[in-house]
Chains A and B, each alone.
Chain A
Amino acid sequence: MALCVFLGPVVAGLAGSILPSFGYFPALGGEAFSLAPWRALAAYPGLGAAAWFSFWTGLAATLLSLAAALIFTAAWRGTVWFKAFQRLVSPLLSVPHSAVALGMVFLLAPSGWAMRAVSPSLTGFERPPDLATAPDPFGIVYVACLVVKETPFLFLMILAALNQIPDSPLSASARTMGYRRTIAWLKAVAPLVLRQIRLPVLAVLAYSVSVVDVALILTPVTRPTLGVLVLRWFNDPDLATQFVAAAGACLQIGVVLAAGLVWKLGELGAGRLFRRWIASGDRSRGENGLRVGGFALASLVGVLGGFGLVVAALWSVAQRWRFPDVLPSAWSLRFWDRHAEALLQAAGVTLTVAAVAAALSVLLALACLENEKRRGLKPGNGALWLLYTPLLTPQIAFLFGAQVLLVTIGLDGAWVAVIWFHMLFVGPYVFLSLSGPYRKLDPRYRAAAVTLGATETQAFFRVVLPVLLRPVLVAAAVGVAVSVGQYLPTVFAGAGRFETLTTEAVALSAGGDRRLVAMLALSQSVLPFLGFLAAIMIPAWLYRDRRELSGFR
């Protein structure tokens, strides 16, 4: 089956992480199994703290993002504020994680824009104070950054779910029973929404526990996450450390699974409380708090994300911008000018890879879902877990094994390899953003089509696909955004020969020039932004006369 070929690297990648963790790595002379790597891992100073840090920040970020997206939707759906946030979502989703993290530093660091705005007038600071604000030792800004990035994603997933849920009649009927707006929505609609976005939430959890690039920027050197440590070990010039790195990668998988388990248990407990709350009949208690809280969380996301981007834009055209100047003292377009050609070229490669990987992933996801539908298969089998493995495993561990496979079959450095590897990460996101809307599509549309004489295939192309055009395009846009952000898969599969916006950004950001980094972060955001824009505008235009599908209801 096509899926097996597609997932080959996943198996190779897993083997490439697990075997070395038990000392088996023939190319480095490790030919006997042993527990030595695990012992070395356990002895590493600060390992427990790092694992715990990854664990709780991931859970906290997921919980807060979900709460922000859900409560805001509950309290403000149908208002101008809701529309405003909806408009903000696409740009925020398009910005790579690392760019949001940099934006937070630009904004919140002691030399950041927030401090400049009040210095020296209010603070008297002529030089930045010696305060650990971003990164901070408690992980607050780190979690905040993840929330800024994940809330829009979950918000989008909630919107997609709402396409299939008759939420206005449901919450309206609750309101007629005396429930106030937010409470009504939370009690009548939220349980249905939550059931539908379970997979995206778990993906956010896995991502937040194992993310590396954000942690590199927003955690102090002395308070690394487990992911940062694993990266450190893999990059250690002493190849013997590869064994420890592999063991660390396996531990990382374990931490992700543990967080998933805790989340699941929490879900059960919260579900019970939630049901009790629903049954309590409370109609208005907490309404105001929820409204204010939802608004505050959403605006925090918007302000932190949005302002970070604005400050990044300023940096990209600054020549000199020293503390405590609020605006650059000398401006220059030379970074854009100098790099325009290289950027365009890299953008071409990026777009090609992203478009093909996203399109193929959408096709594959549709084929899987259609197949599942026609054969009446139930989702949730082993293949699905395998599909999500690339999201659960530290990329760098996973990619080494996968690359050995690629080199063995002589495909490294080829377009097909880069696209294939991108699909390993694009595919799961496309699948999880598409499967909800797909499975929730009223099966009677299809039944109506076939009883009118259309074959299954005709029904798919003439009814299912057009009706699902918006979720399909949104899934493709999510895929493009994921593909654009891939660094290690591009480097590994492309044998370093594919220059994308992200490889350029990572290589150049090693030099730490804020203006260059800001410019690259913005350029990285452009393609995904256009993708999301297309995903919204194409159906809106095609279906401008079709109220149910235009997306403006």
Chain B
Amino acid sequence: MSAVSAAVDDPETGRGPEPCSELRSAGLALRSVSASIGGRDLFINLNLSVGPGEIATVMGPSGAGKSALLSHICGVGDPDFSFGGSVALNGHDVGALPASQRRIGVLFQDALLFPHLSVGENIAFGLPTGLGRDERNARIAAALADAGLTGMGGRDPATLSGGQKARAALMRTLLAEPKAVLLDEPFSKLDAALRDKFRRFVFDHVRERALPTLLVTHDPADAAAAAGPVVELAPP
């Protein structure tokens, strides 16, 4: 039986403890979420609200169920885990929706650019359907420029540097026009200099788009930079 962890509000934000039991209509809200694997509880009664442009952080040691939680939220859960409670996005429960309709973007530890597609095609993968060709091309070009990848749309992703890959992956996620973003330790594999730069890059983009964002990390520096609520999951 693992220890219980409730949402811990960041005192610096000045918000009181009471909103955690309330579902706010805008943003991402977890209510009484619990997780278990093979009948063993990882955590129970997790409550967390993430407002637009806010970046909440989930911390905890390996095996605490951080990544499983993210998978559960975006709908690609591992069947080995079972979850209770509810997940709502902008006031709508997304639990019954397939991952493809939840509009929750994910950035993984690895860039996971599809190796069979070019950089541009990877970015285009996220674009909504129904756009005209010019519109598509314009958005891809803009995203490439934004990521500092101008002219690299035709490149093999395997030829990009680590930082380039990571930025391309973020662009791919953002072009899918998500309503929330989950970050699964996306900075952990980058070297220190790059990490700060990329973290700022990511945070700037999600804030600019006012996306509720949930970050999973080991690194307290990440949590500090996120400057949002922090949840500490207990060891298993």
Contacts and interface: CB of A to CB of B under 8 A. Distances in A.
- Chains A and B directly touch (beta carbon < 8 Å): yes
Given A447-B99, A453-B103, A547 B114 contact: no
Interface in B98-121: 98-106, 108, 110, 112, 114-118
A453 B115 contact: no
A467 B71 contact: no
B104 A451 contact: yes
A40 interface: no
A442 interface: yes
Contacts of B78: 376
A463 B114 contact: yes
A459 to B, nearest CB: 8
Contacts of B104: 451
A462 B115 CA distance: 12
B115 A452 contact: no
A180 interface: no
B8 to A, nearest CB: 27
A459 B178 CA distance: 17
A445 B103 contact: no
A450 B158 contact: no
A543 B116 contact: yes
A349 interface: no
A462 B129 CA distance: 15
B165 interface: no
A444 to B, nearest CB: 5
B115 to A, nearest CB: 4
Contacts of A442: 112
* Interface residues of chain A: helix, strand, loop or mixed (majority): helix
B158 A546 contact: yes
Contacts of B99: 447, 450-451
Interface in A524-553: 543, 545-549
Contacts of A466: 114, 116-117
Interface residues on A, range: 20 to 34
A288 interface: no
Contacts of A458: 100
Contacts of A376: 78-80
Contacts of A447: 71, 74, 76, 99, 106, 108
B31 to A, nearest CB: 21
A71 to B, nearest CB: 30
The residue among B78, B79, B98 with the most chain A CB atoms within 10 A of its own CB is B79
A467 B156 contact: no
The residue among A453, A459, A462, A546 with the most chain B CB atoms within 10 A of its own CB is A453
Contacts of B74: 447, 451
Contact of B128 (A453, A459, A463, A545): A453
Interface in A434-450: 442-450
Nearest to A459: B100
B112 A445 contact: yes
Interface string B9-25: 00000000000000000
B100 A467 contact: no
Contacts of B203: none
A451 B116 contact: no
Contacts of A327: none
Contacts of B108: 444, 447-448
A415 B116 CA distance: 37
A548 B158 contact: yes
Nearest to A448: B112
A86 interface: no
A126 interface: no
A469 interface: yes
B116 A450 contact: no
A277 to B, nearest CB: 29
19 contacts: A376-B79, A443-B76, A447-B106, A447-B108, A448-B112, A449-B114, A450-B76, A451-B74, A454-B100, A455-B98, A462-B125, A463-B114, A466-B114, A466-B116, A466-B117, A467-B116, A545-B118, A547-B156, A549-B116
Given A451-B100, A547-B158, 18 more contacts: A376-B78, A444-B112, A445-B114, A447-B99, A449-B114, A450-B75, A450-B98, A451-B102, A455-B98, A455-B100, A456-B98, A462-B125, A466-B116, A467-B114, A467-B115, A467-B116, A546-B115, A549-B115
Top 10 nearest A-B pairs by Cβ distance? A376-B79, A547-B158, A450-B99, A548-B115, A447-B76, A466-B116, A452-B126, A451-B106, A452-B176, A455-B100
